[in-house]
């Protein structure tokens, strides 16, 4: 018995050591990016590889946040993340709630169409032709309207609404609430965990818009942060962030790249703690029908 307890402790110690090393390996790239972005430019030019800087500096961030192109791209991504998330939640939740009604005549047919969109994708070319015919090229709506409702999201939200007791809606109707008021004042507050979870998914997706932005946005002024970041990372030298004629001392290229990466991931990291308490509950509530 004592021998088994010893082996169990050794196994637990090995697991802890392995997971700690794995976490360190995964965390190190982010740590290095953050450290380089905060290193004094003079020290970075001397050492090139900095793990524990002696002098800290926000010069790279100050430079980025003073440039018109970078601020504009942040604004574009913020617009996509906020407006796109609100619109996607409104459409997906409304459709899912309608499909959860047992008295809705066309619910089976619409569910079949939604399942077909999950199984089959039209592809890049049909999507591009659709966006072009709608006149959405070089507009942010080209990144929002085609992806308003996701099939999996609608199905999971429908399963969540199926679990809401019908007696609640019946009681609201007896109190004089119509269908819309019941949905807005009764069902939506009960759906906060699911809406917070899928809202986070939508926000991350819109904030990280990249491939669709490359296809539909030809004007650099409309680029979100991810497209501008890709151009900065691929550029051998600093891209033209500063307006013509503006005299600004430019930090080293690598420092700007590292700082831009940190700025691009901070907003999502800042939003996550506010929805964390709803995340696990919301993700599970709509995943099992019962």
From CA 229, how far away is CA 54, in angstroms rounded? 28
Residue 246: pLDDT above 60?
no
Residue 289: pLDDT above 60?
no
> Which domains does the chain carry?
2-57 (no CATH), 61-285 (1.10.3720.10)
Q: What is the pLDDT of residue 64?
A: 87
Residue 257: pLDDT above 60?
yes
Q: What is the pLDDT of residue 240?
A: 54
Q: What is the pLDDT of residue 286?
A: 46
Q: Which residues pair with 56 in a beta bridge?
A: 39
User: 80, 143 in Cβ contact below 8 A?
Assistant: yes
Structure-model confidence comparison of residues 13 and 103, the more confident one: 13
pLDDT in tens, 104-135: 788 888 888 888 888 887 888 888 998 999 89
From CA 169, how far away is CA 173, in angstroms rounded? 6
Arithmetic mean of pLDDT, 88-109: 86
Q: What percent of the chain has pLDDT over 70?
A: 89
Q: What is the pLDDT of residue 290?
A: 42
Arithmetic mean of pLDDT, 222-244: 71
User: 199, 89 in Cβ contact below 8 A?
Assistant: yes
Q: What is the pLDDT of residue 244?
A: 47
Structure-model confidence comparison of residues 3 and 43, the more confident one: 43
pLDDT in tens, 31-80: 998 998 888 888 888 877 878 888 888 888 988 888 888 899 999 999 99
Arithmetic mean of pLDDT, 152-170: 81
Helices 2-37 and 253-285, axial angle in degrees (round to 10): 130
From CA 252, how far away is CA 228, in angstroms rounded? 17
Q: What is the pLDDT of residue 247?
A: 53
From CA 50, how far away is CA 53, in angstroms rounded? 6
Residue 245: pLDDT above 80?
no
Q: What is the pLDDT of residue 141?
A: 93
pLDDT in tens, 177-216: 777 777 778 888 888 878 888 888 899 899 999 999 999 9
Average pLDDT, the chain: 82
User: 203, 268 in Cβ contact below 8 A?
Assistant: yes
């Amino acid at each position: 018995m004592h021998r088994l307890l010893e082996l169990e402790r050794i196994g637990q110690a090995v697991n802890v050591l392995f997971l700690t090393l794995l976490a360190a390996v995964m965390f190190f790239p982010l740590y290095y990016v953050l450290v380089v972005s905060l290193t004094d430019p003079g020290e970075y030019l001397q050492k090139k590889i900095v793990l524990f800087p002696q002098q800290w500096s926000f010069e790279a961030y100050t430079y980025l946040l003073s440039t018109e192109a970078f601020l504009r791209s942040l604004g574009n991504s913020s617009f996509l993340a906020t407006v796109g998330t609100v619109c996607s939640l409104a459409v997906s939740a409304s459709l899912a709630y309608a499909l959860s009604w047992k008295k809705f005549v066309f619910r089976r047919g619409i569910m079949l169409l939604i399942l077909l969109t999950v199984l089959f994708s039209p592809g890049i070319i049909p999507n591009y032709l659709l966006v072009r015919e709608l006149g959405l090229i070089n507009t942010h709506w080209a990144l929002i309207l085609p992806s308003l409702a996701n099939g999996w999201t609608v199905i999971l939200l429908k399963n969540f609404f199926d679990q809401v007791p019908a007696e609640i809606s019946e009681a609201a109707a007896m109190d004089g609430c119509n269908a819309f008021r019941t949905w807005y004042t009764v069902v939506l507050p009960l759906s906060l965990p699911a809406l917070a979870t899928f809202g986070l998914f939508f926000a991350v997706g819109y904030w990280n818009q990249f491939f669709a932005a490359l296809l539909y946005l030809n004007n650099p002024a409309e680029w979100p942060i991810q497209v501008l970041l890709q151009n900065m990372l691929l550029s051998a030298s600093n891209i033209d962030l500063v307006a013509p004629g503006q005299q600004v001392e430019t930090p080293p290229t690598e420092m700007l790249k590292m700082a831009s990466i940190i700025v691009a991931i901070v907003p999502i990291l800042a939003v996550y703690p506010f929805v964390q308490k709803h995340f696990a509950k919301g993700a599970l509530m709509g995943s099992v029908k019962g």
